Amino acid sequence: MTYLITGGAGFIGSNFVKHMLSKYPEAKLIILDALTYAGNLGTLTEELKNPQITFIKGDICDRQVTEQLFSEHTIDYVVNFAAESHVDRSIENPQLFLQVNVLGTQNLLDTAKKYWTEGKDDNNYPVWRKGVKFLQVSTDEVYGSLGDEGYFTETTTLSPRSPYSAAKAGGDLIVQAYGETYKMPVNITRCSNNYGPYHFPEKLIPLIIKNILAGQQLPVYGNGSNVRDWLYVGDHCKAIDTVLHNGRIDEVYNIGGHNEKKNIDIVKLVIKTIHDIMENEPEYRKVLKKQEVLADGTTDISWINDNLISFVKDRQGHDQRYAIDPTKISSELGWLPETFFDKGIVKTIYWYLNNQEWVEEVTSGDYMKYYEQMYGNR
Ligand code: NAD
Ligand code: TYD
């Protein structure tokens, strides 16, 4: 089987590539990624040595690129991760989000339609090659924001409130339209917030880890009471694999692990976990950018505490709460999350402590400029 994985050099896409390689060593994986600030080939150093992988640097919006790719390879599945993915950036530059998340998705769908169909049936519908499928990786944010009660199900009305989520909803709708209008075999997955290795440090958890290690303030938007429903990225990848191979055509599947946390509680947990690691395994103190040597020759860690927290101006239109009801994927396809948050977050923090080179590499470009612009006046 040949899989086209778009956005495979980003956070979830790269974790998915690693999952697929280890689970299906015979599969051919074609990665299409524009290598924006969020995509990094250093994330795939080992994988790119594997002859099963072909990497193409290109834009999902570029018809020439997608045509060439489909004409040169017999693709069976498309898994579309490629997107502009950060809400804060979407507030600054909404149009880019529409271009990539809506028009890029439509360009992929249209190219796939051209290469996956052979003539028309009696009712004028395209005849699709057997076994092909387009899976759109989407987000729970398309459902909008919840109050204290309730969960998003697959039948919850789409009500996006940020340019990012509006663009993702637009992408979902055009995928559904290809499913209805041309009978294209499609699935849409809508997952809650992911965390884990290779997460770009503009999102809450990796940004907090990076700032703690540097002894910098931890910017918490508003009063920190917003709730996100966190899922370990490896569990998300397994869910996508499950839907791709077993999901009923045209269906939407929500993915989540019933793990709601307030932002402020996450931040405090990360501070405490890093402090505990530094206390119990002093060899990790070398990773700290803030080095103050005490009289006894040890590195001071007493400053790793809640005083690092800084409540800053709230995000515009900040969604209050997300919470997924994953009953459909669990009962229909047997998927269940495997990594409990208390274990997953510790595993993630150790990953960052042990992979500071990766963090340096991905934040060496325009990151400081971005950080200053986004947080300078908050
Ligand atoms: P990411 O920003 O880390 O990665 C996105 C990748 O897409 C990058 O490698 C980037 O270079 C690439 N890309 C961007 N524009 C492109 C273009 N025009 N053409 C080709 N490649 C392009 O994002 P992520 O967190 O890995 O999210 C992946 C997908 O999962 C997105 O569609 C996102 O909406 C969805 N999602 C993310 C989360 C989450 O918590 N991160 C949760 C649910 C769904
Ligand atoms: P984020 O990781 O950007 O994901 P999303 O907005 O897609 O859910 O943010 C998660 C939550 O953390 C969200 O409520 C905004 C908040 N947040 C902060 O409080 N401070 C920060 O510096 C960032 C990046 C996010």
258: left (phi over 0), alpha (psi -120 to 50) or beta: left
What residues form DSSP beta bridges with 78?
A: 4, 134
| Tens digit of each residue's pLDDT (9 = 90 or more) over 221-230 | 999 999 999 9
> 134: CA distance to ligand 1 center in Å?
16
User: 105-116 and 63-72 helices cross at what angle (nearest 10)?
Assistant: 30
Q: Is 140 a catalytic residue?
A: yes
User: 263-280 and 341-354 helices cross at what angle (nearest 10)?
Assistant: 60
Taking 70 as the pLDDT cut, the residues of the chain under it are none
- The CATH class of the 2-196+230-258+320-339 domain is alpha beta
pLDDT at 376: 87
Q: How far apart are CA 282 and CA 119, in angstroms?
A: 67
| Active-site option among 33, 47, 59, 140 | 140
Cα pseudo-dihedral 85, 86, 87, 91, rounded to 10: -100
> 302: CA distance to ligand 1 center in Å?
37
CB of 9 closer than 6 A to ligand 2?
A: no
pLDDT at 373: 87
Query: Which pTM value belongs to this model?
Result: 0.98
One-letter amino acid of 177: A
Domain spans, the chain: 2-196+230-258+320-339
Angle CA(310)–CA(368)–CA(98) in degrees, nearest 5? 95
pLDDT at 367: 84
CB of 14 closer than 6 A to ligand 1?
A: no
